[in-house]
Chains A and B, each alone.
Chain A
Amino acid sequence: MIAGHFGFAAAVKSRARSAPLWMLMLASVWLDVVFVPLFIGKTETMQLVLGHHGYGAGIIHADYSHSVVGMLLLSLLLGLVSWPFWGGRNALVIGLVSVSHWVLDLIVHRPDMPVIPGQPAGWPHFGFGLWQYPLAAQGVELLLVLGGAALYWRAARNVSREAGKGPFWPALSAVLIAVFGLLVLWMDATS
């Protein structure tokens, strides 16, 4: 899941209006941003489920970036870094958006997210496995993208109206969020 996280960030922006959208977008994929260099360095790995390929076919061993403890620490770090720039309330929102990444991943991942890196045998791995049903998972992402863009557009239009501005930029921004979200979803789904 990639596009769905961005859609969720757009929805959050509609409520946390002084939090920068780009930071909310970054927070929504922060765990994956950390995952990329760890994956390149082979600290974290991915394997395909036997007989599957493409969208949602991976079992992801992201024990540092996507474990419960790793996720909480990374989210705390992002919130703390955000605090001086955008205040405590926005820092909390940004940290929680980072946590939301894990929650949304929980829905789609197969059970591959541990409590701690290198945890003892018998400890649980989390993931409800919606990726086993790719169309359903893509449907969830589609709803997040379109719903997030719609909520963002409504809030942006209201803010612009209150400031005596026209509807052009809110509409353009919301359309771009929706179009890019759909593009990312399409690229992910056809990978």
Chain B
Amino acid sequence: MQFILGVFLFVVVAGLVDARIPWPKAKPGRKAS
């Protein structure tokens, strides 16, 4: 149960809050960072 809740919470955090940070965009074939 805690696993499912944990995954859900982290995906929500990652999807909603992290998206507000201007990280460089990934494109196919482009290097990370």
A residues contacting B by CB (< 8 A) are 2-3, 6, 13, 15-22, 24-26, 29, 32-33, 36, 83-90, 93, 156, 159-160, 163, 165, 169-170, 172-173, 176-177, 180, 183-184, 187-188, 191
B18: which of A22, A85, A90, A184 is its contact (CB, 8 Å)?
Answer: A22
Report how many residues on chain B are interfacial, defined by Cβ distance under 8 Å: 28
B residues contacting A by CB (< 8 A) are 2-7, 9-11, 13-15, 17-18, 20-33
A169 & B15 in contact (Cβ 8 Å cutoff): no
B26 & A90 in contact (Cβ 8 Å cutoff): yes
- Interface secondary structure of A, over-half rule: helix
Contact status of A85 and B30, CB under 8 A, knowing A20-B14, A25-B11, A36-B3: no
CA distance A159 to B17 in the complex (A): 15
A187: which of B6, B11, B20, B25 is its contact (CB, 8 Å)?
Answer: B6
Query: Can you name 16 A-B residue pairings with CB atoms under 8 Å?
Result: A2-B2, A2-B6, A3-B6, A15-B33, A16-B32, A18-B25, A18-B33, A22-B11, A29-B6, A83-B28, A87-B30, A90-B26, A159-B21, A163-B22, A165-B21, A173-B20
Given A85-B28, A87-B30, A184-B9, 16 further pairs, Cβ under 8 A: A15-B33, A16-B32, A17-B33, A18-B32, A21-B14, A84-B28, A86-B32, A87-B31, A159-B22, A163-B22, A172-B17, A180-B6, A180-B9, A184-B2, A184-B6, A188-B2
Which residues on the B side are within 8 Å of A191 (C-beta)? 2
